[in-house]
Chain A
Amino acid sequence: MARNGLIAVLRVFAVVAGLTAQPAHAHLVETGFGAFYDGIAHVAVTPADLLVVVALALFAGQRGTRAARFALFALPVAWFAGGFVGARWPAMAALPLLTTLSFAIAGALVALNASVRDIGVAALVVAAGLLHGLVNGATMAPAGSVGLALAGAVSAIFLLTAILSAEVTTLPSGWPRVVVRVAGSWIAASGLLMFGWLARTAG
């Protein structure tokens, strides 16, 4: 009985929070070539998206061919799925703290060259893809042609992931792999600083 009451209270909170969430003011960058190319450009000009894709591709490449193959298909698919959810419910899709956390974690894993199983890499990639896709969908919704714009974004993500992860899987040990870890530490460090900026903006 008490549990039912708790659920009711939580539901009220969820509804109130949903109703009071502010609308997304952002909009999609316009290339002038149509929604598909706007989607491609969107990835290029959204640093949080770009950094998470780079970090995940590097990480998947570090973990080997199998993990890279998982990432190559799981990331775009998750991004696409998240995009449609975000386009449908844009009010709950502005999550700068979580998007920052996602690329910071991915960067840290690259820097540490963390030994994560393939399933772990896939889970991370899917979670990050859903999250960033959710935010992308909310951004693209006001512009219309969400499907085309998402297709453009996902194509860019697929290509970037394919190039980077394939490159990293074939790197010899030694300096080339150290450079990859350094890149990861730079991404993680940028994420740490971004947490500070977000805290300062919120305060």
Chain B
Amino acid sequence: MRHALGARAARTTVATLLALASTVALAHEETGQAAGFLAGLAHPVSGMDHVLAMIAVGLWGAVLGAPAIWVLPVAFPVVMAFGGLLGLLGVGLPGVEIGIAMSAIVLGAMVAAEVRPPIALAAAIVAFFAIFHGHAHGRELPEGTSALLYSFGFVVATGLLHACGILLGVVHRWPAGRRAVRVAGGGVALAGLFFLWRATA
């Protein structure tokens, strides 16, 4: 008897929660899907600070080799999205632009100096800066476009920038290529200094 009552209570609770969680169904035949996806794809490449930092992540992964070469690009989008989530929830993050500029400086310097920290530390550094990038860029949805496809396009573009960095980093296995990668890292760090100057001016 007691067991039956418990089961009934559980069923009723689940039904209540499901009913309370329901909202208006607006999720179908969404409008602005192509526009949302294209806007999301275009957004990361519209800011040089984001472009350089993402490429630097890929380059650093290439310098570090396995498993960092794939751990960093897998971790970055998720943590970046977490930063975007914080921004969308209205959680303030001080010094976002400075953080983005610092990401270019630090990641560029890591590539230039061929710093090889343990994988956990490298992932933590990349994740730390990913939050700034997500917070700044992940919430700029153009009006009338699909939020999900904008987000997906944004994440895909960021991932493809990592892939560019990784592909460029392939030349690291040859002596001349190794110098070229280090020079590219130095260039990213210098650009980061410029972004920092602009953010603090």
Interface residues of A (CB under 8 A from B): 3-4, 6-7, 10-11, 13-14, 17-18, 21-29, 42, 45-48, 51, 90-100, 108, 111, 135, 138-139, 178, 181-182, 185-197, 199-202
Interface string of B25-69 (1 = CB under 8 A from A): 111111001000000000000000000000000000000000000
Contact of B25 among A7, A18, A26 (CB under 8 A): A26
Say yes or no: B27 contacts A48, CB within 8 Å. Answer: yes
8 Å CB interface, B71-114 against A:
73-75, 77-78, 80-82, 84-89
Shortest Cβ gap from B105 to chain A (Å): 25
Contacting chain A: which of B10-18, B174-182, B191-199? B10-18
* Docked CA distance A24–B22 (Å): 10
* Docked CA distance A190–B149 (Å): 8
Given contacts A3-B9, A189-B155, contact A138 B147 (CB under 8 A): no
Q: How many A-B contacts at CB < 8 Å in the complex? A: 171
Task: Give chain B residues whose Cβ lies under 8 Å from the Cβ of A98.
Answer: 21
* Docked CA distance A4–B27 (Å): 38
- Nearest 9 Cβ contacts at the A-B interface: A196-B88, A94-B25, A24-B25, A17-B19, A26-B28, A189-B81, A193-B151, A192-B81, A197-B147
Shortest Cβ gap from B178 to chain A (Å): 21
Contact of B15 among A14, A94, A192, A201 (CB under 8 A): A14
Say yes or no: A193 contacts B138, CB within 8 Å. Answer: yes
* Docked CA distance A46–B159 (Å): 22
Q: Does B24 contact A (CB under 8 A)?
A: yes
Shortest Cβ gap from A113 to chain B (Å): 10
Say yes or no: B148 contacts A48, CB within 8 Å. Answer: yes
Given contacts A189-B81, A190-B155, A193-B155, contact A182 B16 (CB under 8 A): no
Given contacts A182-B73, A193-B154, A197-B147, contact A4 B25 (CB under 8 A): no
* Docked CA distance A187–B82 (Å): 13
Contact of A135 among B25, B29, B134 (CB under 8 A): B25
Given contacts A14-B15, A23-B24, A94-B27, contact A196 B87 (CB under 8 A): yes
Say yes or no: B24 contacts A190, CB within 8 Å. Answer: no
Task: Give chain B residues whose Cβ lies under 8 Å from the Cβ of A25.
Answer: 24-26
Task: Give chain A residues whose Cβ lies under 8 Å from the Cβ of B15.
Answer: 14
Say yes or no: A185 contacts B16, CB within 8 Å. Answer: no
* Docked CA distance A97–B139 (Å): 18
Task: Give chain A residues whose Cβ lies under 8 Å from the Cβ of B156.
Answer: 186
